[in-house]
Amino acid sequence: MRGRSALSGYRMMWLYVMFDLPVGTKAERKAATKFRNHLLDLGFEMAQFSVYLKFAESKDAAETSIQKVKEALPNRGKVHIVTITDKQYGNARILTGTKSERRPKNPDQLALF
């Protein structure tokens, strides 16, 4: 691989799923809840109420997750999926009130299934 690790910060990805789903009716609320729960089942974690993120060890793994999100899309609403490299994610800042925090550290171990 010419000096590059297979787990390079330029190859590992983070997926952000951001969405705005209608919740005016009982059926819409049920569909939105089902979608959020599906994201959790896929291994996403909630960053904010309509923003979920997930680590992917490669672009191929990210594409697989994106396809699974597409398959679970509700009939109405808008969903954005953004991918960034682990190196880019390393520059993220988490602002809470007047405090600024660094992003959480990546897991030391990579779980393969």
Q: Whose CA is closest to 68, among 111, 15, 20?
A: 15
| Strand ranges for the chain from DSSP E | 13-20, 45-48, 51-56, 78-85, 93-96, 99-102
Of all residues in the chain, the percent with pLDDT exceeding 70 is: 78
- CATH for 13-102 (3.40.50.300, 3.40.190.10, 3.30.70.240, 3.30.420.40): 3.30.70.240
In the chain, what are the domain boundaries?
A: 13-102
The mean-pLDDT minimum among 9-18, 31-40, 77-86 falls in 9-18
Summarised one tens digit per residue, pLDDT across range 28-76 is: 999 999 999 999 999 999 999 999 999 999 999 999 999 999 999 999 9
Sheet with strand 45-48: strands edge to edge: 45-48, 51-56, 13-20, 78-85
pLDDT at site 1: 44
